[in-house]
Amino acid sequence: MPDIQELPLLKSAKREAMVALGIWLAATIYSLGYCFQYGYGRDPESLTYVLGFPDWVFWGLVMPWGACTVLASVFAFCFMKDEELPQSVQ
Amino acid sequence: MLAATDISNPGYSVLFALLLFIGASVWLGTLAQKAMEKKEFLKGFFLGNRGLGAWALALTATVQSGGTFMGFPALVYSHGWIVLLWIGSYMVVPLLSFAVVGKRLAQLSRMTDSFTVPDLLRERFADPRVGLISSIMIITFMSFTMFAQFKAGATIMKHAWPGSGVLALSEDYEPNAAEKAESKDGSASTSAKSASKPIDRKYYVGLVVFTVTVVGYTLIGGFLASVWTDLFQSVMMVIGVTILVCLAVPMAGGLEQATKTAIANTSPDIAFGPGYSTIGRDFLTPGLALSMFFIWIFGGFVSPASMVRVMAAESTEVMRKSICLLSCYNCLIYIPLVMTCIAARTMLPHLDKPDEVIPRMSMLVTEGLPFGPFISGLILAAPFGAIMASVSCFILVISSGLVQDIYVRFLHPAATEAQVRRATNVSMISVGLIAVIANLDPPQYLQALVVLSASGGGAAFTIPVLMACYWRRTTAAGMLAGMLVGFCFYFGLSVAGWIQNWASAAPEGSALAQSVIHFLGPDPKIGVPGLFRPYYILGIDPMVWSLFVSAIAGIGTSLVTKPPSEEHVSRFFDVAVAK
């Protein structure tokens, strides 16, 4: 007698969706937190530059942007699972 | 001094570059037609036989409309570095676009053998109402978004005409300069009167040329033509942006110096939140910054245009590669664009129209280079290509909705292939005609409908699509509730904002306006100015609230209605494994 199981694609898709949403949440909290802390209401005299970017832009946006790009690539090539897509019926 | 008389002025090269773009698009359209021959018509025409590769999927599924590439630089120029925070969530957009619902949508669309989103939802819940309502919503939203693009396309064509408007004029151009110059020769009386008329005629010519081209190549090549031209313009765009940033930043004396000069030319606000503003509005308050991290993400991956492209992906491997490609692409587009526009505050410190920052910068930095006008022509043609690509995508989604979801499903289920093909042609040409008519004299409230449909779609579909993909207990009634409540809530907050705006602008003595302000509160002075600013509860964008309300309505309604039959749900969720 056949056993009923959840589709394998559904299982991996759920897991990947959770991880992706987790990365989004982490990026949001970090970027917004950093920029609110150092980008708003700051004394203009205290501004320093990193590679030409204002310091809060670099550490709050450019750096996490790069990190997310690397992370997305790791996600794509090492974590996300390939599944067979069903052939269209008919 | 007018440069318009000079034969080598950028006007000709821009026109030339536009014609090149149009020619390439038509050529791609005919190639696409060959590629889909001898296959089943509907699936081939509207879904490219589910054969999209990684590059095509990555660079076309979520890239925004041409307006983004013209409006975004203007925002950076006006408000400064803070705009990078405004767009900041693009760092994760590629990942979320494909990893949250991508695989599952591709699977469901194959299981249900559907090639439009409403068709998929209809089969998933075995309920024609879900299909019909979502279809009507998608067609309406996309139509309004698309109509605005036609206007933008026609306007670019008008400007590309040699000697007309800012693109063809040299740096010291000022409004009415043409008339002033002529009044010196004493010929003012005749030329000043007729000055407005030829410009308008150019707009109409531009509108017609634009429409015929886009409808033409979409009609010829269908989905693949749309995707390939989109891919082509995306590549042109990244080349243009790269050239621009490499020339502009050194000209401004490096990035640090550019920021310092920008501060000297404006105020320190340009380097900090909530952004530089000349009109006393806080551009990006923390609440709005938070909102943007929701809007870009959740407005993006469920937009019907991108869902259709995910459904067309060849395999899950293609999706994985797309995540990586699109992540790199976004890095190369957005950060350099911000750098370029900050540098623009050095070379062009006080532009009257910030919208012109990219056209002007591209002419300025390529001046004196070999082939300079041609390079700037290509840079300027890129947004035009983006507009063409997104219009062609919208036309496809709209006519696939009209043909598959309305004509085949409701009006004529037994249609033969020849009839379907004819219906497709008729619907695409009518969409083009309606767009031309709507843009002959666009009413001002059109802009409100555009904003409304762009975010309203996200508010309506995000939660229902997630529910349809992952939650067994979702019922058809829950889907309808999620979609309608999400949209209506968004609509309500938008209307409240417009009323608040009206009341703030009303004369002092108006008792009605006073009571409205008393009830809704005064204008919060945040966000972008404009008649159609929505109502912000607690300083958060209505889209975020609508997502929550939509989730409550969708989940709540599903739970109180009769669960869907286990047998039906099992078809989409389970697999039988031999023990």
Q: Per-residue pLDDT tens for B302-322?
A: 777 778 878 878 788 888 888
Predicted pLDDT at B499: 81
Q: Which amino acid is at B547?
A: L
Residues of A in contact with B84 (CB under 8 A): 57, 61-62
3-state class (DSSP) for residue A40: strand
Output DSSP code: residue A86.
P
**What's the whole-number mean pLDDT along residues A13-29?**
91
Least confident of A22-36, B36-50, B243-257, B410-424: B36-50
CB pairs under 8 A between A and B: 195
Alpha carbon separation from B338 to A39, B191, B342, B354 (Å, rounded): 16, 40, 6, 13
Same domain membership, residue B477 and residue B386: no
Query: Is B331 in Cβ contact with A39 (below 8 Å)?
Result: no
Report the chain A residue with the minimal C-alpha distance to residue B293. Answer: A28
Average pLDDT over residues B413-437: 82
Same domain, B433 and B509: no
Q: Indicate if B369 and B299 belong to the same structural domain.
A: yes
Give yes or no for residue A23 having a pLDDT over 90. yes
Element (H, E) at A50: strand A49-50
Q: Is residue B1 part of a domain?
A: no
- Test B272 with A13 for CB contact under 8 angstroms: no
- The total of other beta-carbon atoms located within 10 Å of residue B513's CB is 18
Of A23-32, B376-385, B471-480, B528-537, minimum mean pLDDT range: B528-537
Distance CA A68, CA A47 (A): 25
- Which is more confident, B477 or B397? B477
Confidence of residue B188 (pLDDT cuts 50, 70, 90): very low
Question: Stretch B558-562: mean pLDDT, rounded?
Answer: 89
CA nearest B327: which of A72, A48, A33?
A: A72
Q: Report the distance separating Cα B193 and Cα B9, nearest Å.
A: 26
Q: Is residue B204 part of a domain?
A: yes
Please, which residues have CB within 8 angstroms of residue B371's CB and are 6 or more apart in sequence? none
* Whether residue B320 is found in the same domain as residue B207: yes
A58/chain B closest Cα distance in angstroms: 10
B428 and B554 share one domain? no
Domain boundary among B395, B411, B442: B442
Q: Decide if B341 is inside a domain.
A: yes
Higher pLDDT, B84 or B230: B84
pLDDT at B22: 78
Residues B438 and B483 both lie in one domain:
no
Please tell me which of B5-9, B43-47, B475-479 the model is most confident about, judged by mean pLDDT: B475-479
Mean pLDDT for chain A overall: 86
Nearest Cα to Cα of residue B217 among B236, B202, B230, B203: B230
> How distant is the Cα of B343 from the closest Cα of chain A, in angstroms?
11
Where do the H-state alpha helices sit in B115-127? 117-125
Q: Which of B422, B442, B462 is the last residue of a domain?
A: B442
Mean pLDDT across B81-97:
87
CB atoms within 10 A of CB B288: 22
How high is the pLDDT of residue B569?
A: 83
Residue B89 confidence (pLDDT):
86
Interface with chain B: mutation pick from A50, A69, A75, highest number of B CBs within 10 Å = A69
Range B481-498 average pLDDT: 88
Per-residue pLDDT band for A85 (boundaries 50, 70, 90) equals confident
**CA dist B285 → A31, B504, B540 (Å):** 14, 20, 9
* Mean per-residue pLDDT, B164-169: 44
Output the six-digit token pair for B402: 């009209």
CB contact under 8 A, A32 and B95: no
Q: How far is A1 from chain B (nearest CA, A)?
A: 7
Q: What is residue B579's predicted lDDT score, i.e. its pLDDT? A: 60
The pLDDT of residue B37 is: 63
Same domain, B436 and B501: no
Q: Which residues pair with A40 in a beta bridge?
A: B273
Q: Is residue B5 part of a domain?
A: no
Q: What is the mean pLDDT of chain B?
A: 77
Q: Which of B198, B344, B571 is nearest to A4 (CA)?
A: B571
* Residue B465 within a domain: yes
pLDDT, average across residues A27-44: 89
What does the pLDDT average to over B424-430? 85
Query: If pLDDT is split at 50, 70 and 90, which confidence band does A89 have?
Result: very low
Residue A78 and residue B6: Cα distance in Å, rounded? 57
Judged by a CB distance cut-off of 8 A, whether residue A83 touches chain B is yes
Distance CA B121, CA B464 (A): 10
Q: Three-class SS of residue A51?
A: coil
- Show residues of chain B in contact with A62, CB under 8 Å: 84, 335
Highest mean pLDDT, choosing among B54-58, B428-432, B513-517: B428-432
CATH number of the domain within which B48 lies: 1.20.1730.10
**What is the percentage of chain B residues whose pLDDT exceeds 70?**
80
My answer on whether omega of the bond before B274 falls inside 30° of 0, hence cis, is yes
A contact residues 18-37, partner B, Cβ 8 Å cutoff: 19-21, 23-24, 27-28, 31-32, 35-36
The pLDDT, as a whole number, for residue A62 is 92
Residues B250 and B345: beta-carbon distance below 8 Å: no
- What type of residue is B523? D
* A76–B321 C-beta distance less than 8 A: yes
Query: Is A39's pLDDT higher than 50?
Result: yes
ipTM: 0.90
Question: Closest partner residue to B293 among A4, A32, A49, by Cβ?
Answer: A32
Q: What is the mean pLDDT of residues B6-21?
A: 64
Overall domain count for chain B:
2
Q: Is B52 helix (H, G, I), strand (E, B) or coil?
A: strand
Residues 6 or more apart in contact with residue B172 via CB below 8 angstroms: B1
Is B265 in the same domain as B147?
A: yes
**B199: confidence class by pLDDT, cuts 50, 70, 90:** low
Shared domain for B235 and B336, answered yes or no, is yes
Which of B120, B316, B322 is the best substitution to test chain A (most A C-beta atoms within 10 A)? B316
Q: Is residue B398 located within the same domain as residue B319?
A: yes
DSSP A4: E
Q: What is the pLDDT of residue B169?
A: 35
Q: Which of B464, B468, B506, B502 is nearest to B485 (CA)?
A: B464
Within a domain: B221: yes
Q: Residues 6 or more apart from A58 whose CB is under 8 A from it?
A: A50, A51
C-alpha span between B22 and B175 (Å, rounded): 30
Given a contact cutoff of 8 angstroms between Cβ atoms, the answer to whether A19 and A79 are in contact is yes
Structural domain boundaries, residue B516: 454-579
Whether residue A82 and residue B317 make contact (CB cut-off 8 A), yes or no, is: yes
Identify the pLDDT of residue B574.
82
Whether the predicted pLDDT of B296 surpasses 90? no
State whether residue A62 sits within 8 Å of chain B by CB.
yes
Confidence of residue B182 (pLDDT cuts 50, 70, 90): very low
Q: Which residue, of B388, B415, B442, is where some domain finishes?
A: B442
Q: B390 CA to chain A: closest CA distance, Å?
A: 25
Same domain, B112 and B55: yes
Q: What is the mean pLDDT of residues B488-512?
A: 79
Closest CA to B309 of B406, B412, B400: B400
Give the closest residue to B421 by CA, choosing from B141, B219, B242, B229: B219
- Is B182 within the bounds of a domain? no
DSSP B168: G
- CA–CA distance, B190 with B178 (Å, rounded to integer): 13
Please list every residue in chain B whose beta carbon sits closer than 8 Å to the beta carbon of residue A81.
316
Per mean pLDDT, which range of B316-325, B360-369, B556-565 is the poorest? B360-369
**For residue B90, is it within any domain?**
yes
Of B226-240, B445-459, B488-502, minimum mean pLDDT range = B445-459
Contact between chains at A65 and B91 (C-beta distance less than 8 A) = yes
What is the average pLDDT across B494-504?
A: 80
The pLDDT, as a whole number, for residue B69 is: 64
Q: For residue B259, list chain A residues with Cβ-Cβ distance below 8 A.
A: 49, 52-54
Q: Can you give the pLDDT at residue B432? A: 85
pLDDT score at B36: 67
Task: Quote the percentage of chain A above a pLDDT of 70.
Answer: 93
Amino acid of residue B43 = K
Choose the closest CB to A10 out of B254, B335, B573: B573
Measure in Å the smallest separation between the Cα of B337 and chain A Cα atoms: 13
Confidence at residue B430, expressed as pLDDT on a 0 to 100 scale: 87
Whole-number Cα distances in Å, B496 to B39, B237, B374, B449, B520:
50, 38, 48, 14, 8
Q: Select the more confidently predicted residue: B197 or B39.
A: B39
User: Given pLDDT bands bounded at 50, 70 and 90, which one contains residue A2?
Assistant: low
Residues B410, B467 share a domain: no
B64-78, B178-192, B354-368, B488-502: least confident range: B178-192
- Complete DSSP assignment for B125-164: HT-HHHHHHHHHHHHHHHHHHHHHHHHHHHHHHHHHSTTS
Query: Which residue, among A85, A79, A64, has the nearest Cα to B314 in the 3D structure?
Result: A85
Instruction: Say whether residue A8 is in contact with chain B using an 8 A CB cutoff.
Output: yes
